[in-house]
Amino acid sequence: MNQTKMRTLEEPKKMKDNMGMMEMGKSLPSFSVDEKQMPEIKEWKIGQRYMIEVEVEMTRISKNEWREGEPINASLKIIKVGVDTEDEKTIEAKKGHN
């Protein structure tokens, strides 16, 4: 895969109310795939991190023109998905052998 510029997304802030914890703002983006779309997931473990690359098509963009400072939002359709062969386990294993 090409060298991709990665940025860490911030988790939404949590606020405690009388019912427990409540998220403030939007949650992190997520998507689901099945093993036909991405066979590699059969070998993956919950809680582990894996590097993937996606190709998307922007299908919508919006901005609230009535509220100053509101962020622009986009809807994206996933067209292609690829798995980086240098996943976290592979990278960690190589570090141990250097």
Residue 88: which domain range?
33-96
- pLDDT per residue as tens digits for the range 20-63: 655 556 778 889 999 999 999 999 999 998 888 899 999 999 98
Q: What was the pLDDT predicted at 98?
A: 44
The residue with tokens 């405690």 is 16
Q: What was the pLDDT predicted at 92?
A: 59
**Across the strands, what pairs with 21?**
16
Q: Write down how long the chain is.
A: 98
**Across the strands, what pairs with 53?**
82
Assigned domain for 39 exists: yes
Assigned domain for 22 exists: no
Q: What was the pLDDT predicted at 13?
A: 73
- pLDDT per residue as tens digits for the range 55-80: 999 999 998 777 787 888 999 999 99
Number of domains making up the chain: 1
Q: What was the pLDDT predicted at 36?
A: 94
> Other C-beta atoms within 10 Å of 81: how many?
15
